[in-house]
């Protein structure tokens, strides 16, 4: 399974980066191939200063070796070995009318002292973080999420949407990071579903990413915007940074397993502001976004 899924995410990385380069029309992805001293490595692809994308990363990694003590406590296990592979992407458009998007699809195995696989699971999802609210964009994104889920189980979309709304939440701010999408983790062979069933579902979600995001980016990337709207984008990006550094489990896992720092932190946007006690004007477009982030909606 690990070889099968790794092949899938490498092919998906190629598909996504090629499609993004075509939409951007100016910049191309730079690839870094790196190795982790304890075992494994990855292929990090980053695009910067494009016509549409100010910064973006589409990274694939596969790492293995002894599970660090800090992560043993997190998983509530003793000394074990692990294997983890996944594709993680974050795209920060230049235009504040175009939303940031994040997605990842991952697979994990754990082994006992004899090298026998004793646990395995999938995780992942995708979510949308706009700076200005276009309801038709939110509806399109969630419709694609729902379509990928409904082909596998009627409960998947409502369950994984709820988990996404709960997970991507800046509790210290009392607001969501964005408009949600899907979030799932620890998808094992259980509840009558085999690990092959889980693979089929996770790859279906991955295959819907471009359909979910590219039409939104294409229709927003060339809209006019003001310096004030750009400033708002940078302030909201600050909330994105706060979530990734304070709450995100993937960032924590990467740092505690001696992952590649540049790849782990590629999700951070290039231009950000933190304004002291900043609040948007009442009844403004900016305030409308904040109102939506206070309470999840059923966009689909």
Q: What is the pLDDT of residues 283-295, one digit of tens each?
A: 999 999 999 999 9
Rounded to a whole number, what is the distance in angstroms from the first to the last CA of the chain?
32
Q: Which fold has domain 2-294?
A: oxygen-dependent coproporphyrinogen oxidase (3.40.1500)
pLDDT bucket at 69, cuts 50 / 70 / 90:
confident
Question: C-alpha dihedral over 173, 184, 143, 251, to 10 degrees?
Answer: 50
Q: How far apart are CA 144 and CA 279, in angstroms?
A: 33
Indicate the DSSP class of residue 22.
Answer: H
pLDDT bucket at 76, cuts 50 / 70 / 90:
confident
- Catalytic residue (one of 43, 64, 102, 208): 102
SS3 content of the chain, % helix, strand, coil (to 5): 45, 25, 30
Mean of the pLDDT values across residues 228-254?
93
pLDDT bucket at 266, cuts 50 / 70 / 90:
confident
pLDDT of 258 over the 80 cut: no
Q: What is the pLDDT of residues 195-216, one digit of tens each?
A: 999 999 999 999 999 999 999 9
Domain boundaries, the chain: 2-294
**Which token pair is 35?**
């190795």
Active site residue 153: no
Q: Please tell me the predicted confidence (pLDDT) of residue 264.
A: 85
pLDDT of 259 over the 80 cut: no
Q: What is the pLDDT of residues 38-60, one digit of tens each?
A: 999 999 999 999 999 999 999 99
pLDDT bucket at 226, cuts 50 / 70 / 90:
very high
**Which token pair is 86?**
């996944």
Question: C-alpha dihedral over 42, 43, 48, 51, to 10 degrees?
Answer: -140
pLDDT bucket at 141, cuts 50 / 70 / 90:
very high
The number of CA neighbours under 13 Å toward the Cβ of 118 is: 12
């Amino acid at each position: 399974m690990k070889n099968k899924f790794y092949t899938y995410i490498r092919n998906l990385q190629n598909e996504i980066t090629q499609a993004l380069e075509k939409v951007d029309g100016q910049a191309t992805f730079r690839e870094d191939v790196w190795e982790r001293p304890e075992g494994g490595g990855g292929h990090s692809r980053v695009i910067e200063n494009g016509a549409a994308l100010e910064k973006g990363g589409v990274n694939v990694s596969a790492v293995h070796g002894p599970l660090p003590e800090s992560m043993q406590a997190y998983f509530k296990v003793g000394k074990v070995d692990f294997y983890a592979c996944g594709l993680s992407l974050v795209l920060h458009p230049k235009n504040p009318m175009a939303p940031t998007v994040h997605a990842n699809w991952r697979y994990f195995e754990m082994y006992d002292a004899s090298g026998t696989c004793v646990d395995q699971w999938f995780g992942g999802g995708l979510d949308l973080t706009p700076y200005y609210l276009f309801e038709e964009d939110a509806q399109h994104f969630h419709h694609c999420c729902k379509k990928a889920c409904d082909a596998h189980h009627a409960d998947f979309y409502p369950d994984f949407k709820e988990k996404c709304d709960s997970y991507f939440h800046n509790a210290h701010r009392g607001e969501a990071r964005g408009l949600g999408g899907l979030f799932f983790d620890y998808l094992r062979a259980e509840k009558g579903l085999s690990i092959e069933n889980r693979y089929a579902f996770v790859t279906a979600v991955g295959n819907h990413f471009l359909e979910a995001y590219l039409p939104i980016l294409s229709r927003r990337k060339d809209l006019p915007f003001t310096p004030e709207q750009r400033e708002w984008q940078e302030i909201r990006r600050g909330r994105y940074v706060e979530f990734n550094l304070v709450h995100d489990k993937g960032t924590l896992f990467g740092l505690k397993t001696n992952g590649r720092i540049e790849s782990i932190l590629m999700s951070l946007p290039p231009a950000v502001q933190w304004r002291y006690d900043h609040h948007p004007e009442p009844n403004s477009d900016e305030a409308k976004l904040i109102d939506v982030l206070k309470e999840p909606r059923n966009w689909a």
